[in-house]
Amino acid sequence: MNEKKTYLFVGSYAKPEGPGVYLYRWNEEELALEPLAEADGLRNPTFLNVDPEGGKLYAISEGVNEAGGKSGTAVSYRFDSGEGTLERIGEAPTTDGPTCHIERSPDGRRLVVVSYHGGMAGLMELEEDGTIGRRLDQPQHEGSSIDPDRQDRPHPHSTRFSPDGRWAFVQDLGLDLIRTYRLEDDRMVPVRDNRIHPGAGPRHLAFHPEGRFAYVINEVDSTVSVLGYEPETGELAELGYVPTLPDGWQGDNTCAEVAVSADGRFVYGSNRGHDSLVVFAARNGGRTLEPIQHISVEGRHPRHFALLPGGRWLLAANKDTDGISIFSVDAESGKLAYAGKKHAVSQPVCIQPFQA
């Protein structure tokens, strides 16, 4: 039986006439990303979702509405990583506003997108052949929070499904809350609002592998909140929060991505402004976080990063310096070390690794 290889898709800011989505094979011996395929014809495919088993890729893109403004679009692809092929198979309008995130439901029957500027989510059906069908629902968020510049209106930023697939959590930066939804009868049914401390700006969410805790990285105040998860009710209760920046650092900063090691011992986050990765040790079974490292991303504006399968490597997408920086991960300490290697790519902002 052939050993599985690691591949990754990268999404970027791009114009339709240029490439915006890239497929690479990871070469661990050379610490290199070997290009296999790329896709053009999309405007700003800044977030991706991969279905490795089905050989499908889903990307957000920007469309134009009847008034000439931006609207959401999603594009589906069929890919063969072994052959290095990437074929566009469908496109569909999603939300009335441009989108920033796309997530596939665990049963593979739905896509959920969110519109930061439109203040809404969108539920899309997925056909059996992997093409994107009609929009089923578009729940609109309402309200504001305490930051007059960043939180004067709703700003949904991402969706994350619970480990058992029962709940869909939408992180709303503008409202300082995570809204729990249940997918039912082709609708996103709101279940509860889970409040995050005022001025936080929740952006992305990651679960501890044991499923009792989750972590949300807060873009506006540069913190990570520890959340207690109740699977029966879909509640995420904020238990506390810790800063992502080192003591005494002064300057403008916004956070972006959060990830948890496969063994649940470490949590990682990215800082844009300080331009670093922060590493936390997860103590008390994941109940508390202790900062143990801040390390430069060797670039600017790390909008996204990903731990590769196996947990030995971390790749950081630095949008403003057009490159992906490669870091080794110490399995025992969780700490990172820059490997001295970068991969050049225009404005990368999403890295989605997988094995095949």
Cβ-based neighbours of 45, under 8 Å, separated by 6 or more: 11, 12, 14, 20, 21, 39, 59, 60, 61, 75
Q: What is the mean pLDDT of each run of 10 residues along the chain (356 residues)?
A: 90 96 98 98 97 98 88 98 97 97 97 98 97 98 98 98 97 99 97 98 98 98 98 98 97 98 98 99 98 98 98 98 98 98 98 98
Angle at 293 between CA 325 and CA 347, to 5 degrees: 25
Q: What is the pairing mode between strands 132-137 and 156-161?
A: unpaired
CB atoms within 10 A of CB 164: 9
Q: Phi and psi of 320, rounded to 5°? A: -75, -10
Please, is 344 exposed, middle or buried when counting C-beta atoms within 10 Å of its C-beta (0-12, 13-18, 19+)?
exposed
Separation between Cα atoms, residue 159 and residue 137, nearest integer Å: 15
Separation between Cα atoms, residue 338 and residue 325, nearest integer Å: 8
What's residue 310's pLDDT?
A: 97
CA-closest candidate to residue 141, choices 110, 172, 167, 169: 172
Cβ-based neighbours of 238, under 8 Å, separated by 6 or more: 194, 195, 196, 197, 225, 226, 227
**Residue 191: which region, alpha, beta or left (left: phi > 0; alpha: psi -120 to 50)?**
alpha
Tokens of 120: 């809404």
Rounded to two decimals, the pTM is 0.98
CA-closest candidate to residue 249, choices 280, 276, 284, 288: 276
Please, is 29 exposed, middle or buried when counting C-beta atoms within 10 Å of its C-beta (0-12, 13-18, 19+)?
exposed
What's residue 64's pLDDT?
A: 87
Cβ-based neighbours of 20, under 8 Å, separated by 6 or more: 11, 12, 13, 14, 39, 40, 42, 43, 44, 45, 59
What's residue 65's pLDDT?
A: 83
Angle at 82 between CA 81 and CA 88, to 5 degrees: 40
What's residue 136's pLDDT?
A: 98
Cα 305 vs. chain centroid, distance in angstroms?
Answer: 9
81, 7 in Cβ contact below 8 A?
A: yes
Tokens of 326: 């490669």
What's residue 2's pLDDT?
A: 72
What's residue 115's pLDDT?
A: 98
What's residue 1's pLDDT?
A: 59
CB atoms within 10 A of CB 143: 15
Cβ-based neighbours of 262, under 8 Å, separated by 6 or more: 209, 307, 311
